[in-house]
Structure 1
């Protein structure tokens, strides 16, 4: 299973437009993708805008993104980039 840790850089955290961009990118991948706070807690579906927003991740907080399967490294890189872009 692939994994990336990213620090959320957007002023609004992983909400609104950054969350929508994250989910739209995740939905292009054929595999399951999960996202969790790096401080713990249950992972949520990375393809669900409601679950991503419910994490309530703020600017400066870290998330752990996980995916498994063919192409997972590329999608993980893309999602980590989205999360860490201001």
Structure 2
């Protein structure tokens, strides 16, 4: 399992367009990808679940990836987070 914490620095937080890109990217992998925010965990393959988190600028999210292609899934997830949602 791979686990990493990210801080959202985008002033809009996690909003619809980048969330859709993220879900589309993650959905092509067999691994399970989970996002945790304030103790709530959601499947990153569900845009509805992701949007209900309400994570905004300055908030920290934790990403967990586990499965047969977890390395590749994590790398692509991290890349999309850094480009679309602007995290550090």
- Please state if 1:68 is matched with 2:77: no
Please report the RMSD computed on the Cα atoms of aligned residues, expressed in angstroms.
1.5
Q: CA deviation at 1:60?
A: 2.3
Query: By how many angstroms is 1:81 displaced?
Result: 2.6
Look up the match of 1:15.
Answer: 15
DSSP 3-state at the match of 1:64: strand
Query: Whole-Å Cα distance in 2 between the matches of residues 7 and 75 of structure 1?
Result: 19
Q: Which runs of 5+ in 1 are unaligned?
A: none
Mapping of residues 7-86 of structure 1, within 5 Å? 7-37=7-37, 40-85=38-83, 86=86
Q: Tell me which stretches of 4 or more aligned residues in structure 1 moved more than 4 Å.
A: none
Structure ranking higher in strand proportion: 2
TM-score of the two chains, using structure 1 as the length reference: 0.83
What secondary structure sits across from 2:29 in the alignment?
coil
TM-aligned CA distance change 1:5 to 1:64, over 3 Å: same
| 5+ long unaligned stretches in structure 2 | none
TM-score, normalised to structure 2's length?
0.82
Q: How many residues align?
A: 84
